[in-house]
Amino acid sequence: MHMFTSKNFKIHAGFTLIELTIAMIVFVIFIAVVFSSGLFLARAFRSANEERLMYQEAQYLLGFMSQNIRAGTIDYSCYGDSNCESQKLDENNGFVDNTLAIRLPEGQRVIFQKNEENALRFVRQIESDDGTWRDASDFSDGFAVLSRDSIVVERLAFLITPVADPYQSENVSKNEVQYQPRVTIFITLRPKTPFRSGNMRLDFQTTLSSRTYKRL
């Protein structure tokens, strides 16, 4: 008969079922916290990146329009002209329109509008000898889209003051229009496919005066 003695009998310590369960619960909680923190940081980074892109887009669009405003004069003849497809939205001391038409030197003008796809459209036109305007051959479609495909131009409006061209002979005696024309641009941008719930919208506004002066 084999007898167990203190020399060959050993007790192996281990984990109980309760200890294993507690350890698993703690591990699951830890993984959940790490995952949720990582997801939150990823969403915050994506949201900040969307906002940064919209600020860059606004800076580019406003800068491009500003260059043309400062280089030319407001083409008042465009408003009410079906060729410009302008639409007056409001009128007070100035008028708010969906179109900005700028007359440039050497018989050119540029037109800025929001198209049906909610993008900023840019048209360059050349004046013919008979006084009519035709689209320049710069672009195959007759216009260029300035805004990114990933950005929606939700609103685009121009407050143009004064209400009439101060350099026209019939307006010389009208004190209420005798100041340098200026434009206030209102533009609202949002991402086309926003990452977070609820569309992110950013509103921008700037006022610029023409730096071109005419002799009365």
| pLDDT classification of 13: cutoffs 50, 70, 90 | low
Enter the pTM of the model: 0.73
Length of the chain (residues) = 216
Element (H, E) at 48: helix 17-71
Identify the pLDDT of residue 63.
92
pLDDT tens for residues 77-128? 888 655 576 666 565 556 788 889 998 888 888 899 888 888 888 888 888 8
pLDDT tens for residues 159-210? 888 888 888 888 888 887 888 888 999 999 988 876 654 568 889 999 988 8
CB 59 within 8 A of CB 189: no
Residue 3 has pLDDT above 80, yes or no: no
pLDDT tens for residues 28-79? 888 888 877 777 777 777 777 878 888 898 999 999 999 999 888 888 888 8
Q: Residue ranges of the domains in the chain? A: 33-97+148-209
Q: How many CB atoms lie within 10 A of CB 14?
A: 7
What is the CA 52 to chain-centroid distance, rounded? Answer: 11
**Cα(47)–Cα(39) distance, rounded to whole angstroms?**
12
Helices (H) and strands (E) in the chain — how many of each? 1, 11
